Chains A and B, each alone.
Chain A
Amino acid sequence: MPESVLTLRLQARGLACERDDRWLFEELDLDIRGGEIVRVEGPNGSGKTTLLKILSGQLTDYHGELFWNERPMRQARQAFLENLLYLGHAPGVKAALTPLENLAWYQALAGEVSHEAPRLAALESVGLAGFEDVPAGQLSAGQQRRVALARLELTPRPLWVLDEPFTAIDREGVAALEERLVIHARSGGCVLVTTHHELKASQELRRVRLGSGGPDVKG
């Protein structure tokens, strides 16, 4: 294993989240390293999305501690965000902009000056070649989701946090994405994912279960 894997580590100690006096989860300990695909499981309303929002740094009103590469999240936030790619429920694709323009904004948002070539390549890799200049509003829901997924290729980030990424994608797309997740993990990256779709078992896959009986971590 290359040395770089050691530097990717997301830890949670005693993580608990209370929303309006209801505990979504309590005493959750996580230690996520490069090379892993972590699937967060649980019934509806068990706090999967909330956990992903906490682990991606969007929600800050949690109890417990988070560490990024051994440093407390509060101090390491900037470095953490520079290594994170988060895809939420909504794809974050502007209907009035073309896929190319959408990607250009995301690339610039990361602070990178870039040219069109990597964006074209990213769109091609998700099967959207030929749709580069069509306003995203005219694309199907699955194609819009693919525009969002193109960001996985566009901005190389080691930590992926994906909330229901398989929504609206066809079978071939699902297979390709699933394969992509495994490749990302094998090359030292890390994937945190929620999905109703059953992932193929692989040695990289780990499960974290949330539910009424409290969190239950399996290796």
Chain B
Amino acid sequence: MSKADSSVQRDAAHPAAVGEPGGGLAVAVWATLKRDLTLMLRRRGEVLNPLVFFALVITLFPIGISPDPELLATIAPGLLWVAALLAALLSLDSLFRGDYDDGSLEQLLLAPQPLAMLGLAKVAVHWLLTGLPLALMAPVLGIMLALPAGSYLILAISLALGSASLSLIGAIGAALTVGLSRGGVLLSLLVLPLYIPVLIFGAGAVQAAILGDGAAAHLAILGALLALALMLAPWAIAASLRISING
């Protein structure tokens, strides 16, 4: 007890002495990354669900359309991209919901760190455990859709790049709807139209690789979209979280 009391007085006299600015942010962001990763890895089902969903949706298409490899090959880039996009959307609703329900979100808002950066850490975890695995899994499903050789690497790279933008944009929607009891469907309605540019250039990259046009331009545009999203989305996420916590 006495130790704590003496430090209370010290801090009251020198408010700035608590936590060094600059170093403190790195510590907080790192701890948030670590915490969210630990949380997700303790509930492995939630990490696996989007991947299983991805594989299932891809299985539906040959059954629903035709097993003809030539036909599948022409639509494979778009199918893989759309299915991955929907799979990433699936896990978006839970991005902030757990923290909202148990009160951690309030604490996140009151941390003496920029909320945008802490939100970014949470989005990064979402990408690491959803977007990245989807990108790594896509080539395997590409084989099942007879995706022409030479486009597999581009498929994985475009998905890895694009899904980072999707996580960032989607997090805005998740932050806006986290205070609503049934925000799930609304979230898709808000977010899907905003996903379209990423889809166009992502699927376009794979298409271009198949045609042998070189996908560098597409990947560059995907990178530019990601840079833009990285600059703007964290602020929108922070503002949205502040709105939701007041709801």
Report which A residues bind B (CB closer than 8 A).
2-5, 7-8, 34, 53, 56-61, 69, 78-79, 81-84, 86, 88-97, 101, 104-113, 125, 153, 156-158, 183-184, 187-189
Contact = CB atoms under 8 A, between A and B. Distances in A.
A46 to B, nearest CB: 18
Contacts of B12: 4-5, 7-8, 34, 83, 158, 188-189
Given A101-B35, A125-B1, A58 B110 contact: yes
A157 B98 CA distance: 27
Contact of A109 (B11, B28, B242): B28
A83 B18 contact: yes
A156 B4 contact: yes
A157 B111 CA distance: 13
Contacts of A105: 31-32, 35
B39 A109 contact: no
Contacts of A88: 103, 106-107
B74 interface: no
B112 to A, nearest CB: 4
A89 B104 CA distance: 11
Contact of A4 (B13, B27, B28, B32): B13
B188 interface: no
Nearest to B246: A59
A111 B113 contact: yes
Contacts, number: 146
A89 B12 CA distance: 26
A23 B7 CA distance: 40
B8 A89 contact: no
12 contacts: A7-B15, A58-B110, A92-B102, A109-B118, A110-B28, A110-B112, A112-B24, A156-B4, A156-B10, A157-B18, A183-B1, A187-B8
A59 B20 CA distance: 26
Interface of B: 1, 4-5, 7-13, 15-16, 18-21, 23-25, 27-28, 30-32, 35, 38-39, 42-43, 98, 101-104, 106-113, 118, 242, 245-246
A189 B32 CA distance: 29
A84 to B, nearest CB: 7
Given A58-B110, A109-B32, 15 more contacts: A57-B110, A61-B246, A81-B112, A83-B18, A86-B107, A88-B106, A88-B107, A93-B103, A94-B104, A96-B43, A97-B35, A109-B108, A111-B18, A113-B27, A183-B1
Given A88-B106, A125-B1, A111 B28 contact: yes
Contact of B245 (A58, A78, A95, A112): A58
A79 B102 contact: no
Nearest to A112: B19
Given A3-B13, A89-B103, A92-B102, A111 B8 contact: no
A166 to B, nearest CB: 16
Contact of B8 (A86, A106, A113, A188): A188
Contacts of B103: 88-93
A88 B104 CA distance: 9
